[in-house]
Amino acid sequence: METYKFKLYQHKKNKHLHRSINAAGNIYNHCIALHKRYYSMFGKHLNKNRLMKHIAKLRRKNEYWQLVGSQAVQDIAQRIDRAYQLFFKHHKKGVRPPNFRKRIKYKSFTLKQAGYKFLDNNQLKIGNKIYRYWKSREIQGKVKTVTIKRNPLGELFIFVVTDHVDYQITSMTGKSAGFDFGLKTFLTCSDGNDIDSPLFLKQSLKRLKLASRDFSRKQKRSNSREKARKNLVRVHEKVTNRRSDWFWKLAHQLTDGYDYLYFETLNLKGMQRLWGRKIGDLAFSEFLKILEFVAQKKGKIVSYIDRWYPSSKTCSSCDYVLDELSLAERYWACPSCSCKHGRDTNAAVNILRVGASTLRVGDVSQLSAAISA
């Protein structure tokens, strides 16, 4: 699967799409209300097929709901059903059930087999209206879904998902590396190539404070407050875009330099509770998703070792394990072999050693297939 993102031209016709997104939000909240009511009355989960039939009947009598295509309405019911299934399966891990959303926070609707048609000259027909978009590249493969999404600035984008698979197999280096994530150093590499994070949120903190203060001082429901809100959104958006750009470049840099990349499985939610904003600024989980995507396209392997392995407390020379090692101790000497270690570098070496010893057979065959291709 491959996803293409295009921005729609600003036009007065876009108000129809905004109304459709608002109507989709209305249907979503109605479905959530039906789920809650059904559970309170019968103590059971509402079947998605029964829900879709009921919504289809209501939609015939409601002109406002008819702004949303039948395919998009089915997708809303299916997404709510998947969310409840995840809640029932993982509620002990803190997963919450789907809840009501404000109109301003509802962002998109999705069309599957029908309701849209791509035309010449960068045009897309949705319903009876034709919209133009910025076509930055050609769409390859069969189109599976088209999603219309609205950002906090009110701009509209289309996300096109196709069945095209784009493998970009690069030359293999034969190198492997272990990486230790940290607060002071973003990634400590087992071969000594440390990577520091720019901390984009910290860099823009002063601008964010000024924009947030300006927004809070404006009178509610005034035009000046809406302008201040958009200014605040733009500052946040710039931070997000800069961080994402850096993540993509770093992912390509690492996958070009190494064939096997090993990381430690971390409890990022627990780290967020301890160190708060800095963990959010580093956004390590977002980076790993990007790295896995890039590695898959290039035929490289990203693997993880067990969370409970004492990578920092284990001597990488003789395997001696310390009883205790506080976070304040950045360097330590092994009592067994007297070898001196930097905490993060030692952890990265251990992650590489353990990761290489536990590499699955399927991962090796995947890399071998990529090399032969």
20-24, 275-279, 304-308, 335-339: range with highest mean pLDDT:
20-24
User: 103 near 22, Cβ under 8 Å?
Assistant: yes
pLDDT at 285 over 60: yes
91-95, 159-163, 265-269: range with highest mean pLDDT:
159-163
CA-based nearest residue to 283, from 342, 201, 354, 353 = 201
The pLDDT of residue 267 is 86
**Ramachandran bin of 256, using left for φ above 0, alpha for ψ from -120 to 50, beta for the remaining angles:** alpha
The pLDDT of residue 371 is 45
Residue 249: which residues within 8 A CB-CB, separation 6 or more?
none
The pLDDT of residue 311 is 87
Stretch 159-166: mean pLDDT, rounded?
A: 86
Give SS3 for 333.
strand
Q: Which of 29 and 357 is assigned the larger pLDDT?
A: 29
Stretch 352-373: mean pLDDT, rounded?
A: 63
Q: Which pTM was predicted?
A: 0.84
The pLDDT of residue 192 is 84
The pLDDT of residue 95 is 83
pLDDT at 30 over 90: yes
Kind and range of the H or E run holding 82: helix 70-90
pLDDT at 113 over 90: no
Q: Which of 359 and 233 is assigned the larger pLDDT?
A: 233
| pLDDT tens column, 224-254 | 999 999 999 999 999 999 999 999 999 999 9
pLDDT band at 366 (very low <50, low <70, confident <90, very high): low
Amino acid symbol at 314: T
The pLDDT of residue 191 is 87
The pLDDT of residue 80 is 94
The pLDDT of residue 334 is 85
Counting residues of the chain whose pLDDT is more than 90, the rounded percentage is 55
The C-alpha angle with vertex 71 and arms to 69 and 73, in degrees rounded to 5, equals 75
Counting residues of the chain whose pLDDT is more than 70, the rounded percentage is 95
How far is Cα 57 from Cα 11, in angstroms, rounded to an integer? 33
Domain ranges of the chain: 2-162, 176-198+246-372
The pLDDT of residue 363 is 55
CA-based nearest residue to 195, from 270, 266, 263 = 263
Stretch 144-148: mean pLDDT, rounded?
A: 93
| pLDDT tens column, 174-233 | 889 999 998 888 999 988 888 998 899 999 999 999 999 999 999 998 999 999 999 999
pLDDT at 151 over 60: yes
Average pLDDT along the chain: 88
Structure tokens at 242: 């800069």
The pLDDT of residue 373 is 47
The C-alpha angle with vertex 323 and arms to 318 and 324, in degrees rounded to 5, equals 115
| pLDDT tens column, 42-60 | 888 899 999 999 999 999 9
99 DSSP assignment: -
pLDDT at 370 over 50: no
pLDDT band at 357 (very low <50, low <70, confident <90, very high): confident
